[in-house]
Every structure is written in structure tokens, then in C-alpha cells.
């Protein structure tokens, strides 16, 4: 899809759909060969197409991460174009916390979350255990699908380039640094005309994986300036706005403001983004700088549970370290057969090179090839 076509498509489609934040598009996919299937076989009620997709019929519902919303809208549309009106997929960007709860309560078929299922109790719930119950006593897997760099988007008249680091960001977000001409900011921006105005901070008021990943970055790379435990609920200073669209709009409309947000939303709202200096010089947020950071992530899950350990500090030169990964959280086994067929088809397409290579135009980074292969193998193992 060309950029002109993408902009045109999104302008018309998002206008009609954004009010409900829900996408209902016909879609289909392929069912990878498993140990119990014959090569080239298709699920009942499906028909293979020229791309090798099985295209099962039925309906699939999912919800969660708003960080991946722009990506999954595009992937569903392309998936639908490959297969025609064989299945319907609905994705509702309610936020990672809400998506996980809906998944383990059996309200949706899979969830999108910017953090993996928790294996320790929080608020009386162990997410991984609840998800296992929902999957008929089978494990739920965290499958990384979308890499979304966290942009620190700002709105300051006359400041086209802003350099920050994790420690300064932590002090801005916890209220220690209150004005833009604070000496710590000025030191990182020699020669810049920084205003003496108060800094307005906007944060996500809903439970958000973006918040959790931002606070992980601040905690691990901020030299102790961020004291609180990383969490989906914001504990810093500022004014809360609902979802990524809310903080983006508020920052775009408020002078001398800053927020943390997915790069795709910063781009959509024409917001300037800060460069990050982790000790090796300022690094601009680009596809290449994100790819360098993603390459340093390690899988800490076991088997086909691909929970990642992102490296927020000590990254190599030229790497942009503020990242989040959106996982599609799925039942390894235990979902109804017709739903499983569509989940496998759709996620097979989502993890394919054809789908992943289009994500940079939307403000995301594709999965590194080694990780992409692991995700494809995990999707094929869903039963």
C-alpha cells in the first residue's frame, strides 16, 4: 500500500470508525500446518487462496492496546483484501488493562497488551493464572506482534529540537522539574531558546501498557529519579487524558506541554518528539534507531510464550531505548475450533514479512527476523 493510498484510506475509514474505537472488517487468514494436519490442508469452512491463506469463515473479537490500533486497523484491512468477506474481525482499543480483563473473563477471543501477562498477584489477581482458566486449563501465550517506540512528544513554540534523557524526563514527570528553562534541560540543549513557562504534563488516565513501559524506562534508565514501581496506572504528576488519542490531542492543543505517547500517534498529530541522550549523544526517533534497540531485546518466556526483556539502559550507540512491544495474548489451546482457525490465520498474516514491512509507514518498527520466525512458529503451534 503506498503512502498516498494509506493516508487516503485511513482518512476515510478512521473518520467513520474512530467514534466507537472499534473496527469491524471482513477478514481471513491462513492456518499453518501443524503436527496433526496434512500439508496444504485447510480448516473446514475455509478455502485456500493464492497467498496460501486458508480463509476460514466466522467472527473474531479482540480488544486491548490502543498503541497497536493504527497497525491492527491496517493489517485487518490488508488481510481482508487478501481473502474477501470470509470472516469478520473486530478490534476495540480499550487499553491493555481492559483488554486483558476481557480476555480472561471470556469476553473476547484474544487481547492486545503492551505488557505480558503478570505471573505475580496484583489487586488480588494473577493474570497468567486467570488466563489459563479461561483457556480451559491451557496456558495463554504472549506473542509479540507490534513494536512501538515511545515518543516524548512536546509542544513548545520556537523549539524544533529538544534533547532529553531518562533522568530529566523522570524529574519532569514526577514534578521535580517545573519549567522548560530548568538548568538540567538547558544543559542538554545548549543554545536553544527555552521558555521560562511552566511545563504541562499530560498522562494516560486509563490503565495503559504504554504507561507501564514508559515507567519501566524511567525506572531502569533514570538514575534513581523515578521512585515508583512501574505500573499501568500513572503515579506521577500532570493532567490525565483518556487513551493515546486523548493525550495526543491535549498536547497538540496546549503550549509548553509534554506527554509520553506511541510514535504513530505523535506522527498522526504532527507533534515534535524529543531526542534521547543515553550517554552516547542524542538519538533521534527513527525506524533505524528503533531497530537497533529492538535487536537487543531477549526472550525471557519459555517455549512458545515469547515474553521479551527489553533493554532500556546501556544500549549501543544510535539505539533509541524507549520502546514498547504489543503482545497478542492467545490461548495455546482451549478456544473453540472455529475461533482458533481464525486466530491462527490472522496472526499468521500479522507476523508475515508482507504485513510487518508496512508497519514503519504507520510509526512502528517491524519484528527482527529472528523474533519474527519465533512468533510464526508459536502461531503455528496454537491448537
Report pLDDT digits (tens) over 280-312. 899 999 988 998 898 888 999 889 999 999 989
The bridge status of strand 275-277 relative to strand 163-164 is parallel
Instruction: Give the per-residue pLDDT at 288.
Output: 87
Q: Quote the pLDDT of residue 3.
A: 36
Using only C-alpha atoms, the chain has a radius of gyration, in whole angstroms, of 21
Stated as kind and residue range, the H or E segment containing 163 is: strand 163-164
Asked if 271 and 155 touch (Cβ cutoff 8 Å), the reply is yes
Is residue 197 a contact partner of residue 180, using CB atoms and an 8 Å limit?
yes
Average pLDDT over residues 163-190: 98
Residues 6+ apart with CB under 8 A from 2: none
Cα–Cα distance for residue pair 18/38, rounded to 1 Å: 41
pLDDT score of 48:
57
Dihedral of CA atoms 294, 297, 300, 301 in degrees, nearest 10, equals 10
Find, among 192, 108, 166, the residue nearest to 312 by Cα: 166
Across 192-344, the runs of DSSP E, i.e. the strands, are 200-204, 239-241, 257-262, 272-273, 275-277, 282-283, 298-299, 308-309, 323-331
Contact 210, 151 (CB under 8 A): no
What confidence score (pLDDT) does residue 224 get?
97
Report residue 173: phi and psi, to 5°: -75, -20
Specify whether the CB–CB gap between 146 and 359 falls below 8 A.
Answer: yes
Percent of the chain at pLDDT exceeding 70: 87
Which pLDDT score, from 0 to 100, does residue 49 have?
62
Q: Phi and psi of 180, rounded to 5°?
A: -70, -25
Closest CA to 362 of 70, 14, 127: 70
- Name which residue leads in pLDDT, 59 or 314: 59
pLDDT bucket at 39, cuts 50 / 70 / 90? very low
Point out which residues pair with 275 in neighbouring strands.
163
Number of H helices, E strands in the chain: 13, 15
Strands 272-273 and 58-64: unpaired
Q: Are 355 and 81 in contact, with CB atoms under 8 Å apart?
A: no
Tell me the per-residue pLDDT of 225-242, one tens digit each, with 9 for 90 and over: 999 999 999 999 999 999
The average pLDDT across 198-223 equals 95
pLDDT beyond 70 at 219: yes
Please state, rounded to an integer, the average pLDDT across all residues of the chain: 87
Judged against a pLDDT cut of 90, whether residue 23 lies above it is answered with no
Amino acid at each position: 500500500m503506498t503512502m498516498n493510498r494509506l493516508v487516503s484510506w485511513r482518512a476515510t475509514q478512521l473518520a467513520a470508525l474512530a467514534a466507537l474505537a472499534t473496527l469491524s472488517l471482513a477478514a481471513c487468514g491462513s492456518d499453518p500446518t501443524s503436527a496433526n494436519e496434512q500439508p496444504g490442508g485447510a480448516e473446514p469452512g475455509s478455502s485456500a487462496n493464492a497467498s496460501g491463506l486458508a480463509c476460514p469463515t466466522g467472527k473474531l473479537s479482540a480488544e486491548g492496546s490502543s498503541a497497536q490500533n493504527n497497525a491492527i486497523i491496517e493489517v485487518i484491512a490488508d488481510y481482508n483484501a487478501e481473502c474477501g468477506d470470509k470472516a469478520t474481525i473486530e478490534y476495540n482499543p480499550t487499553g491493555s488493562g481492559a483488554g486483558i480483563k476481557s480476555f480472561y473473563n471470556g469476553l473476547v477471543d484474544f487481547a492486545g497488551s503492551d505488557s505480558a501477562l503478570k505471573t505475580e498477584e496484583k489487586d488480588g489477581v494473577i493474570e497468567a493464572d486467570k488466563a489459563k482458566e479461561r483457556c480451559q486449563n491451557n496456558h495463554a501465550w504472549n506473542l509479540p506482534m507490534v513494536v512501538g517506540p515511545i515518543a516524548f512528544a512536546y509542544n513548545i513554540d520556537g523549539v524544533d529540537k529538544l534533547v532529553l534523557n531518562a533522568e530529566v524526563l523522570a524529574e519532569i514527570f514526577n514534578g521535580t522539574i517545573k519549567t522548560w528553562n530548568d538548568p538540567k534541560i538547558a544543559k542538554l540543549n545548549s543554545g536553544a531558546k527555552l521558555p521560562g513557562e511552566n511545563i504541562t504534563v499530560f498522562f494516560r488516565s486509563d490503565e495503559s501498557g504504554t504507561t507501564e513501559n514508559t515507567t519501566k524506562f524511567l525506572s531502569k534508565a533514570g538514575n534513581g529519579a523515578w521512585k515508583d514501581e512501574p505500573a499501568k496506572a500513572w503515579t506521577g504528576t500532570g493532567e490525565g487524558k483518556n487513551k493515546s488519542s486523548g493525550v495526543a490531542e491535549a498536547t497538540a492543543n496546549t503550549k509548553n506541554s509534554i506527554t509520553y505517547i506511541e510514535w504513530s500517534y505523535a506522527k498522526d498529530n504532527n507533534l515534535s518528539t524529543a531526542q534521547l541522550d543515553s550517554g552516547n549523544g542524542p538519538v533521534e526517533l527513527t525506524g533505524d534507531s528503533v531497530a537497533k534497540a529492538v535487536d537487543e531485546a531477549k526472550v525471557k518466556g519459555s517455549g512458545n510464550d515469547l515474553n521479551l526483556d527489553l533493554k532500556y539502559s546501556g544500549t549501543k550507540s544510535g539505539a533509541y531505548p524507549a520502546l514498547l512491544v504489543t503482545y497478542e495474548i492467545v490461548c495455546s489451546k482451549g478456544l473453540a475450533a472455529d475461533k482458533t482457525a481464525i486466530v491462527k490465520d490472522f496472526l499468521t498474516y500479522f507476523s508475515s514479512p508482507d504485513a510487518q514491512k508496512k508497519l514503519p509507514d504507520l510509526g512502528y518498527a517491524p519484528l527482527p527476523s529472528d523474533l519474527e520466525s519465533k512468533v510464526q512458529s508459536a502461531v503455528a503451534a496454537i491448537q
